[in-house]
Structure 1
Amino acid sequence: MSSLTLIGAHRAVSELLENRPKSWDVVRFKGLFQRLDRRNVDLTYEMLSLRSTGEIVARAEMGGRQEPDEASLPKYLIAEIDDLVVNPMWLIGGGIGVSRRAGAVSPDYRVFRSRGALLPRFVHQLLRSQPYLDQYLLYTRAQTTFDRRVQQPDLDNLPLPVPPLEEQRVIAEYLDRETARIDTLIEEQQRLIEMLSERRVAKVAETLEGHERTQVRRLVDHDRPMTYGILQCGEPIDGGVVYIGPSDIQGEGLSPYRYALRTTAPEIASAYRRSVLKGGDVVVSIGPAYGKVAVVSDDLDGANLTQDTVRLALRPDLVDTRFFVWALLSRQTAEYWDYQIMGATFRRLNLGTLARTPIPLPAIHEQRRIAEYLDEQTAKIDTLIAEAERFIELSRERRSALITEAVTGQIDVRGAA
């Protein structure tokens, strides 16, 4: 295949193919794979589905999937062990992989069988490597989820590097071994994150134990009672009044940024003067996305709320704001809310339940000390979690790079132990 052919439509993989080892061929996809069209007419094959990880699993393991109607079941494609399964609508998300089990897959998929020049494990790693994922993206011409399939002529003309079979075997074994090592390290860090997250929750809960409690409503300024906000905010208005909804509340007490908030018309906001915000107010999400907490920054004076958020104007003589945030985010509060909405058809927190929520109430100076302590202790844990997350990110990048280097011949793995 000439250099000119590789460049252009295949620019995501062209440079890698130009620099391949001299003993490696380059062959188009259609020269290596035969498309199959065997249907599960007698319904004897197990129903399978393709994950974005490239793993092909029993459909029942996917969970939450709408079951196909009986009329479509005989149309399902049969895939045998070592067949290549492709989801053309989700190739850019990793919808491609070699099957390790026999079964029936969606008729929207495509099933291919190697013509004999490729080892299945090598194919799996090659077609899931980053340059090829990038190439699938270049092939997509539509922007919507249901109309971005990679067309078969593009896939047919996709150039693939083809090492000698023995070298394919060595590469596949090398990648099996090395990716397993990386995956083990990633799993260890994921378990560490889980442990640290549990420790964080426990630290907050333990620190807040042993104090008398009072209801949230008793800590609120009587002149500015608890209230939810605007029922129908309407279309955004340039220069309108900004408002806070559940989706705007992200961190533990952090205020949303003004520039990121939506707006409502002044005449709509004026009908909800009761829920106007001031700097220092606490906002809590209720409804189905309940339990998120923000402390309003001073630059949001005059902002408003949606109907699924509640304003709490706390009494500074009774409760420290930061302490109050920790109390609302504690395991004790979460358990109280779970108990209150247990058995409900739709899990929603309402204004009344929030008002009755019990909150620990030591002396105000003790509240400030506890809040400072929890800020300090959770920050230490958060730093460890961030380090573990960074390790996982780097490990995944290394895993991806290693696969690319091996399947394109950038590194010679034949002497690797």
Structure 2
Amino acid sequence: MSATALPAGWRRGNIRHFAAMKTGHTPSRSVSAYWDKTSIPWFTLADVWQLRDGRRTYLGETASQISELGLANSAAELLPAGTVVLSRTASVGFTGIMPRPMATSQDFWNWVCGDELLPEYLNFQLRSMAPQLRGLNMGSTHQTIYKADAAAIEVVVPPVPEQRAIVDFLNRETARIDTLIDEQQRLIDLLRERRKSVIEIGTGWDGLVREGWSSQRLSWIFRSTASGTTPSNEDIVYSAGAEIPWVTTGELRESVIVDTERGVTSQVLDRYSALKLHPAGSLLIAMYGATIGRMAILGVDAASNQACCALVGPTGVIAEFVQYSLVAAKPHLLLEAAGGGQPNINQDKIRSFRIPVPPVAEQHGIVAYLDEQTAKIDVLIAETERFIDLALERRSALIDSAVTGQTVLRAEVA
């Protein structure tokens, strides 16, 4: 907290002058009685998702509970309603208020406010300090806010009546902003649904039969398929200016790839038999994990890792049409995926997958239309996302202004 001049009656001081510092603990997992007949809400990192967007004040239901026996036989404490929690490990700097007596794991610093500090006000203040709090986390492997740093946090505390006025003001104004953000997010959802529908209709995935179209396996309309491999670290060039671009699935974003973050040399390409050079115009599809089904067209000759399938040499089709068709068909393609935690599709399943195919001349017209329509929708989505970003900035600025006693905002609150 910067040492700017404060309004009359406001104080700046160590957080422990105004709130008792507590933490939590995890009862032994080896004692089943600590986890049987549980009744005590136990807030852990599994629950931090509730606080990530900064819009939720009170903690919700917890993923886990502990028993009274588990509480009694660990360093965890049953903390009172109104305790302010601050996540201190892994997900650092997220805050909320306990709506009822609860315990936490050791991943939190918890603040039990005294008579001079309202929990709702402290919660807003800690949220305004989130960037500084995240800067306190130390250690590259196990990131955390250590006790000494948490104990040294400074807060700015106005008289309690002003705290109440500030909290009321911020609750009212942030609720207005949140409503506006929700409206804009619904607009984005509608635009994305519109984009999906336009592509489905344009590529024949709307269930209607079209004269002159035929159902074609991908193996019939591409000369071949290929994949790639991951060379050893010393054989990868970590530069966009590498001799031969090397594509990973993270770079497949329904666009044209003209450069990559990493690459290889022609000598490395020759040494690895599984490393293939895919020609420009090839359509790449991600086969594994979280990126499964993502695509891009190569704008340059490039190699790829083993998670990419390259459809090479389009015959009787243009790659841009097939890409749009597979975007529309992604739910159907994913039905072919095998595996649990890391589903995947293989080249055989991709080769045998069928899509509706119109004559080439019609494909060109469809691609031009879809390029135009999706570009318009993408612009609207980007503008709406920017509006949301500005609203979030406004929200943060309001909170920061209120809890630092800036004159104009205090006049509005009063």
- Which range, TM-score by smaller chain? 0.7 to 0.9
Q: In the alignment, what sits opposite 2:199?
A: 204
With 158-167 and 17-26 compared, the bigger mean Cα shift is at: 17-26
Query: Tell me, which stretches of 5 or more residues in structure 1 are unaligned?
Result: 1-12
Aligned CA distance change for structure 1 residues 149 and 310 (closer, same or farther; 3 Å)? closer
Q: Report percent identity of matched pairs.
A: 27
Structural RMSD (CA): 3.0
Write the distance in 1 (CA, Å) between the matches of 2:99 and 2:68.
Answer: 26
The answer as to 2:153 corresponding to 1:143 is: no
Write the distance in 2 (CA, Å) between the matches of 1:228 and 1:284.
Answer: 10
Write the distance in 2 (CA, Å) between the matches of 1:396 and 1:387.
Answer: 14
Q: In the alignment, what sits opposite 1:235?
A: 233
1:80 is paired with a residue of what secondary structure? coil
Q: Deviations over 1:209-236 (max 9, x none)?
A: 2332211111112xxx212223x52224
Write the distance in 2 (CA, Å) between the matches of 1:189 and 1:141.
Answer: 37
Question: What amino acid does structure 2 have at the position aligned with 1:103?
Answer: M
Aligned-residue offset at 1:143: 3.0
Aligned length: 381
Q: Deviations over 1:64-86 (max 9, x none)?
A: x9x99999664233222111223
1:59 is paired with a residue of what secondary structure? coil
1:243 is paired with a residue of what secondary structure? strand
- Aligned residue among 329, 339, 344 for 1:348: 344
With 48-57 and 212-221 compared, the bigger mean Cα shift is at: 48-57
Question: What amino acid does structure 2 have at the position aligned with 1:128?
Answer: R
Aligned-residue offset at 1:127: 1.4
Write the distance in 2 (CA, Å) between the matches of 1:310 and 1:38.
Answer: 48
Write the distance in 2 (CA, Å) between the matches of 1:184 and 1:293.
Answer: 35
Q: Deviations over 1:131-178 (max 9, x none)?
A: x2233244334333x2x3323333333222111111111000000000
Q: Deviations over 1:2-61 (max 9, x none)?
A: xxxxxxxxxxx22xx42321321222212111234798998642222443436523222x
* Cα contact 2:170–2:399 (8 A) shared by 1: yes
- Aligned residue among 374, 390, 397 for 1:394: 390
Aligned CA distance change for structure 1 residues 114 and 287 (closer, same or farther; 3 Å)? closer
Alignment of 1:349-368 (within 5 A): 349-368=345-364
Write the distance in 1 (CA, Å) between the matches of 2:344 and 2:384.
Answer: 34
- Aligned residue among 310, 327, 331 for 2:325: 327
Q: Deviations over 1:337-379 (max 9, x none)?
A: 2333378785211111111111222111100000000000111
Aligned-residue offset at 1:120: 1.5
Aligned CA distance change for structure 1 residues 69 and 174 (closer, same or farther; 3 Å)? closer
Alignment of 1:40-59 (within 5 A): 44-49=39-44, 50=48, 51-52=51-52, 53=54, 55-59=58-62
Q: In the alignment, what sits opposite 2:103?
A: 104
Aligned-residue offset at 1:104: 1.6
* Cα contact 1:39–1:78 (8 A) shared by 2: no
Q: Deviations over 1:316-348 (max 9, x none)?
A: 5x1122112111211xx2233233337878521
Write the distance in 1 (CA, Å) between the matches of 2:349 and 2:243.
Answer: 32
The answer as to 2:162 corresponding to 1:167 is: yes
Write the distance in 2 (CA, Å) between the matches of 1:245 and 1:204.
Answer: 25
Q: Deviations over 1:272-306 (max 9, x none)?
A: 388322222222221333212221123xx3x3222
Q: In the alignment, what sits opposite 2:18?
A: 32
TM-score by length of 2: 0.82
Question: What amino acid does structure 2 have at the position aligned with 1:85?
Answer: V
Write the distance in 1 (CA, Å) between the matches of 2:320 and 2:23.
Answer: 63
The answer as to 2:219 corresponding to 1:217 is: yes
Aligned-residue offset at 1:181: 0.3
Write the distance in 2 (CA, Å) between the matches of 1:173 and 1:110.
Answer: 25
* Cα contact 1:234–1:264 (8 A) shared by 2: no
2:310 is paired with a residue of what secondary structure? strand
Aligned CA distance change for structure 1 residues 108 and 328 (closer, same or farther; 3 Å)? closer
* Cα contact 2:89–2:144 (8 A) shared by 1: yes
